[in-house]
């Protein structure tokens, strides 16, 4: 069908002829349209035809913005997924499956979303359980460079490990050495030795070291050592006194290896203990009258004064050379 046009120089008869041919041959007789078409003009008839063709051989798709697109016979509807976001799979027969992959990535920002998967709900930076009071991570390991905060942390099982520190029941131990180091001060009601034979605690306003083993206990406080029973010093151990000045000079109290059950008694008096190293330490006031007799002298020699009849009037005692 050629394009029909009328030049400005054509006659009215030419216009009539071309118009009649246009309506009769190009447009056609409306009476020849299918009875399924009810429209009485060309434009409406075309739209109605498209609608009929679409309903029988195609379909219309529409998005959330009400934008529509007709997919007719011979057209292809393409649905593309995005890696780690959504998957679109076409399968027989005439099936389109749209779903999420195992790992989903969200590349845009979500403001205060609430995401629920099963009984786990995520709102902002809070994870909660919608059907129970606890969330289980199974046997998976949890790693964080931040801080874990909670009013109560309860673990299942008998032993729990944090770094190299192991907690089993009420026992704390180290997994890689024989000691645990504390960089800060530790405060407790009392401290016991490994087998509970010794205890360090406070009593009566004094720090106290007590032993459950034969040997007794001791109390330390205000620079005073008060013993409730015997204090035993192991072999080659001594008591070292620093004195008022912290320097290299000390006084050591050491016991020679005993060969018997020796007892040294401190007298019930004030004074200074005199040793073999003392020089000119004994004074007259330290001796009572008649305190030194012949029994107290070593290698005793005597000088007797006799009368004319040979009777001893006086005997003088002295230490012999």
Q: How many CA atoms lie less than 13 Å away from 218 in the CB half-sphere?
A: 11
Q: What is the pLDDT of residues 47-97, one digit of tens each?
A: 877 776 666 666 778 888 989 887 776 778 888 887 777 888 888 887 888
Report the length, in residues, of the chain.
321
Contact call for residues 4 and 18 (beta carbons, < 8 A): yes
Alpha-carbon span 87 to 93, nearest angstrom? 18
Task: Give the span between the Cα atoms of 233 and 44, in whole angstroms.
Answer: 119
The CA–CA distances, whole Å, from 243 to 218, 223, 275, 281 equal 21, 12, 19, 22
Q: Enter the DSSP assignment of 175.
A: S
| pLDDT at residue number 124 | 77
The whole-number pLDDT of residue 190 equals 92
CA distance linking residue 35 with residue 57, whole number of Å: 19
Whole-number pLDDT of residue 293 = 67
pTM of the model: 0.36
d(C-alpha 192, C-alpha 178), whole Å: 17
The pLDDT score that the predictor gives to residue 243 is 78
Question: DSSP label at 13?
Answer: H
Q: Which pLDDT belongs to residue 282?
A: 77
Domain coordinates in residue numbering, the chain: 1-60, 191-248, 291-319
From the list 44, 17, 50, the residue with the least C-alpha distance to 30 is 44
The pLDDT of residue 55: 62
pLDDT averaged per 10 residues in sequence order, the chain, 321 residues: 79 86 75 71 76 68 86 78 82 85 68 74 82 79 83 75 85 86 91 84 76 59 61 71 82 86 90 87 77 67 84 79 55
Which of the 8 DSSP states describes residue 243? -
Q: Report the C-alpha gap between 40 and 47 in whole angstroms.
A: 12
């Amino acid at each position: 069908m050629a394009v029909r046009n009328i030049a400005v120089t054509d006659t009215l008869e030419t216009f009539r002829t071309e118009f009649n041919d246009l309506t009769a041959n190009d447009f056609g007789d409306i009476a020849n349209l299918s009875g399924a078409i009810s429209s009485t003009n060309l434009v409406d008839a075309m739209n109605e035809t498209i609608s009929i063709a679409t309903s029988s051989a195609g379909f219309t798709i529409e998005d959330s913005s009400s934008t529509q697109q007709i997919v007719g016979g011979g057209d292809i509807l393409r649905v593309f997924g995005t890696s780690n976001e959504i998957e679109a799979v076409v399968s027989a027969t005439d099936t389109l499956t749209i779903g999420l992959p195992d790992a989903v990535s969200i590349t845009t920002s979500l403001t205060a979303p609430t995401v629920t998967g099963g009984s786990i709900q995520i709102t902002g930076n809070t994870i909660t359980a919608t059907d129970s009071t606890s969330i289980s991570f199974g046997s998976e390991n949890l790693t964080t460079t931040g801080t874990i905060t909670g009013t109560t942390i309860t673990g299942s099982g008998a032993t729990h490990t944090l770094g190299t520190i192991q907690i089993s029941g009420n026992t704390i131990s180290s997994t890689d050495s024989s000691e645990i180091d504390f960089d800060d001060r530790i405060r407790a009601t009392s401290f016991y030795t490994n087998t509970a034979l010794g205890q360090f605690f406070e009593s009566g306003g004094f720090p106290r070291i007590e032993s459950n083993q034969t040997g007794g206990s001791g109390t330390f406080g205000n620079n005073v050592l008060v013993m409730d029973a015997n204090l035993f010093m192991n072999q080659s151990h001594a008591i070292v006194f620093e004195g008022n000045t912290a320097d290299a000079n000390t006084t050591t109290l050491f016991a020679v290896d005993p060969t018997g059950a020796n007892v040294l008694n401190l007298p019930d008096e004030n004074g200074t203990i005199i040793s073999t190293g003392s020089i000119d330490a004994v004074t007259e006031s330290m001796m009572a009258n008649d305190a030194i007799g012949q029994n107290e002298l070593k290698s005793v020699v005597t000088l007797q004064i006799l009368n004319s009849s040979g009777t001893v009037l006086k005997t003088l005692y002295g230490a012999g050379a």
